[in-house]
Structures are given as C-alpha cells and as structure tokens.
Amino acid sequence: MRLNDNIAIVTGAAQGIGRAVAVTFAREGADVIVSDINLELAEKVVDEIRALGRRAQAIKADVSKSSKVNQMVEQAVNNFGRIDILVNNAGVNKLLPSDDLAESDWDWVTGINIKGQFLCSQAVGRQMIKQKQGKIVNIASMAGHYGRPGGLPYCVSKGGVLQLTRTLAVEWAEHNINVRGSQL
C-alpha cells in the first residue's frame, strides 16, 4: 500500500502499459482517474479498479487538445479534491520512411506524444503548485535516445519527452513537484 489514498491520473489508461499502471496503482492503495480517448475501454479499467476497493473514474480526453485536458483536470479536482500523481502515458506511433511522411502524420504523433505531455503536465502542474506537492511520471522510450529508421516523429517526440522531463524537474523542484521519466 505504498500509494495509500493518493489520487492519480493516468493518461492512455484504457489498455496496455497505462492500464497496467492504473491497476497497479490501485493495488497499492491509490484512487485513479482513468483517462483515454477510448471511453468504453477506460470504463472496463474503472470496473477492475473498483473491484479492488478503490475509487476510480473514466474521463474521455484527447491529450493533444488543451481544452479537453483542462476539462479533465477540472473534473478530477472537483471529484477527488486534489491530484497527487500524473502519469503521462498516452502515446502513438506511425512507422513510415521519412520521405513518405505526411504533415498530418507528424502532427498526430508529436501532438500526442510531446505536446500532449506538455499540456497535461502544465494543467496538472498548476494544481500541484497550489498543493505545494506532486509527482509527474513521463513515459519516454529507448527510441528517445537513438535513431530508428522509419520512426522519425516517434523518436523526435520521445527525445523531446526526455528534455520536457529534465526541464520541468529543475523548474518545479522548488514547488516540491518531483518530475521523473521512464528511460531517461
């Protein structure tokens, strides 16, 4: 019960790594906001968490849209009172040779993977600054460290996540906000 009574938001939590994080947090005693664009699957994760005896809510939010992210945070704070942990997990990939990559492919991948982590960190960070504490975990990738043929927007965005993490970590340390990344 290492997270006893913490309130956590996990983005992209309807499946995959995000779902595993959300359920593991609940097993450790956290209440979890299960955020995703796929509300139907997110509701199933909420059922799993409630079966563990923790509070949970599914919130549909596209992390690449500031209005949706701000609504998500407002709803979470209204319903749970505070946010102790944010896990920026939502991420997508588009594998294509760079000379075939469309502007829309670039915008989709970077919009979710890097701008999305910025928007969620900013909206939740404002709340954590008021609370004078919080923890933010950004899911990066080994692809942020090296080039991968056909993976340009993914590699660029995950490299960006590393710098987003390092910069917010030093900027928000004075507010007692601990910003960490996977695969830093």
Ligand X SMILES: NC(=O)c1ccc[n+]([C@@H]2O[C@H](COP(=O)([O-])OP(=O)(O)OC[C@H]3O[C@@H](n4cnc5c(N)ncnc54)[C@H](O)[C@@H]3O)[C@@H](O)[C@H]2O)c1
Work out how close the CB of 63 gets to ligand X at its nearest, in angstroms, rounded to a whole number.
4
Can you tell me the distance from the alpha carbon of 26 to that of 21, in angstroms, rounded to the nearest whole number?
9
The residues of the shown chain that bind ligand X, judged by CB under 6 A, are: 11-12, 14-18, 36-38, 62-64, 89-92, 112, 139, 141
Can you tell me the distance from the alpha carbon of 113 to that of 123, in angstroms, rounded to the nearest whole number?
16
Closer of 91 and 125 to ligand X (Cβ): 91
* DSSP one-letter code for 172: H
Most distant pair of Cα atoms in the chain: their distance: 51
Work out how close the CB of 20 gets to ligand X at its nearest, in angstroms, rounded to a whole number.
8
Can you tell me the distance from the alpha carbon of 63 to that of 72, in angstroms, rounded to the nearest whole number?
9
Work out how close the CB of 39 gets to ligand X at its nearest, in angstroms, rounded to a whole number.
10
Work out how close the CB of 98 gets to ligand X at its nearest, in angstroms, rounded to a whole number.
19
Closer of 43 and 175 to ligand X (Cβ): 43
Set 154, 160, 168, 172: catalytic member: 154
Distances (CA, A) of 112 to 46, 60, 61, 66, 88: 23, 14, 11, 11, 10
The answer to whether residue 146 is catalytic is no
Closer of 45 and 177 to ligand X (Cβ): 45
Number of H helices, E strands in the chain: 6, 6
Closer of 142 and 170 to ligand X (Cβ): 142
Active-site positions? 154
